[in-house]
Amino acid sequence: MAPLDSTSRPGGRSGLARRPQLSEEVASVLRHKIMTAELRPGDPIRMDETAVELGVSVTPVREALLTLRGDGMVDSAPHRGYVVAAMTRTDVEDIFWLQGQAADRIARRTAGLIDDDGIAELAAAADRLRGAVADRDIPAIIDAEFLFHRTHNRISASHKLAWFLLSATRYTPHQLYAADPGWAQVAFSSHEDLIAAYRARDPQAAAAAVGRQFTDGAQRLIAHLSQTGIWADDQP
């Protein structure tokens, strides 16, 4: 893995704007490893080794681990350091349920607020995602999908709810999805249906469109984690 530096940006392209964000970048890398079972429940996370692997000092690793402990993703104990916390199927289902509930409310609200300019913005963001997928550019796919939802949430004027949704999506392994052509097809379809629902000013259809994408995300992640044997009752 290439070292992280002041030009890296979490989850997407290189381009970290400020050095203080370095601990956030480290947290993003570790969060992805945990959510994809590259780091499994009970595995130790050693600060010195992680710092060497990522090409950073120990300080941002320590700060990142404190963040992850606050997120419930790692546990700490005297003389043991940090270990990956337990994660069940129910945990994954709950994460996506929470995201879906927030997105449902935002979509219904947006249906009553969006105008033709807003619909055009969403359509342009959807086209950007198609281009990134066609180029097989994973960082660009991540950025384009983020742009689509950021644009959508801004139009909704649901500032606090959008902030809660953004916080919940920290658990989403964006790189895993961006590399999956099946995920991209569902994203395309749900975006098209969402835009069509807004043209029709149909809040129920809008909620159904965003809900499908979160349901698909949960199913894909659970299938991936099941294949890793992370849960005792699953066969690798």
Q: Where are the domains of the chain?
A: 19-84, 89-228
Q: Global pTM? A: 0.85
Residue 195's pLDDT is what? 97
Contact 10, 4 (CB under 8 A): no
Same fold? 19-84, 89-228: no
Return the ∠ at Cα 16 (arms to 2 and 106), rounded to 5°.
115
Residue range 68-89: mean pLDDT, rounded: 91
The three-class DSSP label of residue 67 is helix
Q: Rounded CA gap, 156 and 108, in Å? A: 9
Cα dihedral sign, 17-172-223-72:
positive
Q: Pick the closest to residue 31 from 78, 87, 79 (CA basis).
A: 87
Residue 14 predicted with pLDDT over 60: no
Fold of 89-228: Four Helix Bundle (Hemerythrin (Met), subunit A) (1.20.120)
Structure confidence by residue, pLDDT tens digits, 124-166: 999 999 999 999 999 999 999 999 999 999 999 999 999 999 8
pLDDT class for 6, splitting at 50, 70, 90?
A: very low
Structure confidence by residue, pLDDT tens digits, 180-200: 999 999 999 999 999 999 999
Domain spanning 19-84, CATH architecture: Orthogonal Bundle (1.10)
**What is the CB neighbour count within 10 angstroms for residue 206?**
28
